[in-house]
Amino acid sequence: MGNKRFIAVMTTLVILIVLFVLFINKILPSENIDLLTNLPDKTYNWENLELGTNPGAPITIIEFGDFTCTHCAALAPDIKTLLSLYPGEINLVFKHYPNDETKDSPRAALASECARQQEKFIEYHDLLFERQLDFSYNKLIEYAAKLGVHPQKFVECMENFKTLPKVENDIKEARLNGVRGTPTLFINNRKIEGVQPLQTLRLLIDQEKIRVK
């Protein structure tokens, strides 16, 4: 009787331990722990920080993205959530690192910057990630029109490649700072590659808030 009770207790204990480990791994996957324990050992200097959502904020998030990247599209809702969770504390700066194997990617990057010239970058950025199926020239114009962008100015911007220097500068910065793919984030001076769980990003931001005080 005593042995059966002991076995039942030990079995229950093992099950509880397994469930606890699974719960912890779900909240914080083991491969992300290094992100939280490794402090930044390099200072990055970025251009065009004034183009972000809140210049001068204590936390700067640089995101290198590509509008044709499905992983970037998956990350986009979490980035919006972070901005709502930390109002006034984050300056999000989106930088382009387009896929040069397709014309759609650089074309979309140029179009988004043409939208920025009419103060519609964030709205256009969100729309492109929602509609990744078609980035043809005519569709990009159509998307701009849906947002109230002046069509003639937008077309002129696109046809004259007015925003090409901005996109080229983003690509240069990406290569100089070791960006290998998208999405890549820099939370202040901490480099994060690939899509990470929202909880991990929140913990990194909370650490940075303490560190920069």
Structure confidence at residue 29 (pLDDT): 47
DSSP states of 106-152 = HHHHHHHHHHHTTT-HHHHHHHHHH-TT---HHHHHHHHHHTT--HH
Residues of the chain with pLDDT under 50: 18, 21, 24, 27-31, 33
Cα–chain-centroid distance for residue 109? 15
Q: Which helix (H) or strand (E) holds 22?
A: helix 2-27
If we measure between CA atoms, which residue out of 207, 210, 196 comes closest to residue 30?
Answer: 196
If we measure between CA atoms, which residue out of 154, 199, 176, 157 comes closest to residue 64?
Answer: 176
| 198, 78 Cβ separation under 8 angstroms | yes
